[in-house]
Amino acid sequence: MPPSSHRRFPARRRLALVTTGFAAAAGLGLLPFAPRADAGAVDLAHATLPAQDGWASSGSGTTGGRAAGARHDVTVSTRAELVRALRAGPSGAPRIIRVKGRIDANTDDQGRPLTCADYARGTGYTLAAYLKAYDPAVWGRSKLPSGAQESARAAAQARQAERVRLAVPSNTTLIGVPGTGAGISGGSLLVQKADNVIIRNLAFADTRDCFPQWDPTDGSEGNWNSAYDAVTLRGATHVWADHNSFTDSPHFDAANPRHFGREYQVHDGALDITNASDLVTVSYNRFADHDKTMLIGSSDQDSKLRVTLHHNVFQGIVQRAPLARVGQVHLYNNHFDTTPRNGYTHGYSVSARAGVRIVAQNNHWTLSRDRKTSQLLSGDGTGAFAGTGNMVNGAVTDLVAAHNAANKKKIKPEAAWQPALARGLEASAADLPASLARRAGAGVLK
């Protein structure tokens, strides 16, 4: 199958939505907000990003909602409560939102599950009619879909977007209550032109688009493209994403049908950092069972994009861990496991494109027998990857040399900058597979 395009599309994908059954905690009813349920526990919600902890600690640092008053320090257990907490005025007021249990974003204001059919009702959209209208044998391959069925698809997609896309304002801490299995199913957090945001201890599952758009011009054979990432940063600054988990479960891509000879892809990114986002630290997260995982830079003309990734785990990831453009990206003490999982097979781990300057220190790759060291990196011939102390199956390895020996488009081995914000940098990557199995992901914080 031809590789998917590296372009970033605002297009939509379809989801044959299967509700995951995450129930709201009992006893909260329709109260605007519940009293704090974790008052006796160690208070993680007021924690701030430590000094020197990656790019997000630069300048004013990242404190999230630490200064929130009692009115804006709330516990939520349903989508409706979460939306009210995110929108509560005044704009920009510091807020702490504690998520208790799992929240299903595909629900109405009374908590009733919504399906793809609910979103499409009354729009005139059906998949059968869409496939008939834009079959390449009829529509051709030189232009994007337009007309009645494309308009209907867009209208249905807008209905789902109203439910699942949740805007996170400046000066916010969004944190899962320890011990409650906190997370968001089917939702897409959007941090757009916001500053000073902390997202911690949340499990993001199966963010699916009901209505992917067919693009016959994407790649040599066309592609289906969807709209939602679990977390999207667009023009965001000072963001700390820590101890979260991301997965497509329970709807793995292997269940996706094929239309027009291409996978009907219903998932987009897990955590995408685009549109001149800047000063971001991504730490101790677990990314599993996903294709296009993390995009840093929406196009070759993007800007800023100073991002640190440290102590994260990537398992069952096909590509983009990350795909990085333009900026200055620091990768340290991450663990990449290329072993196939749940139908997801490794394509590459890190892609250096559009002049990006990546510094990679003391990361560890667990290389499965079906993969080669030369396949761990990718690039367009303009990016840099300055690597030191990186290990493959326990042996220090020059990843750039391995890549360049096997590929025509070379990666530059010098990044022309030195990271100064590397709190907790471990001198060896040898123990990372075992230690991060215990330390990364949602549910670890107590």
Among the listed residues 8, 13, 208, 320, the single catalytic one is 320
Please provide residue 95's backbone torsions phi and psi, each rounded to the nearest 5 degrees. -145, 145
Contacts of 361 (CB under 8 A, 6+ apart): 330, 331, 332, 333, 387, 388, 389, 390, 419, 422, 425
Contact at 8 Å (CB) between 74 and 98? yes
Is 141 part of the annotated catalytic residue set? Answer: no
Contact at 8 Å (CB) between 377 and 407? no
Cα–Cα distances in Å, from 70 out to 28, 32, 35, 294? 18, 14, 10, 35
What 3-state DSSP class applies to 374? helix
Count the neighbouring beta carbons within 10 Å of the beta carbon of residue 265: 20
Query: Which H helix or E strand runs over 439?
Result: helix 432-439
Q: CA quadruple 205, 266, 329, 335: dihedral positive or negative? A: positive
Nearest to 348 by CA among 381, 312, 373, 311: 373
Catalytic residues: 320
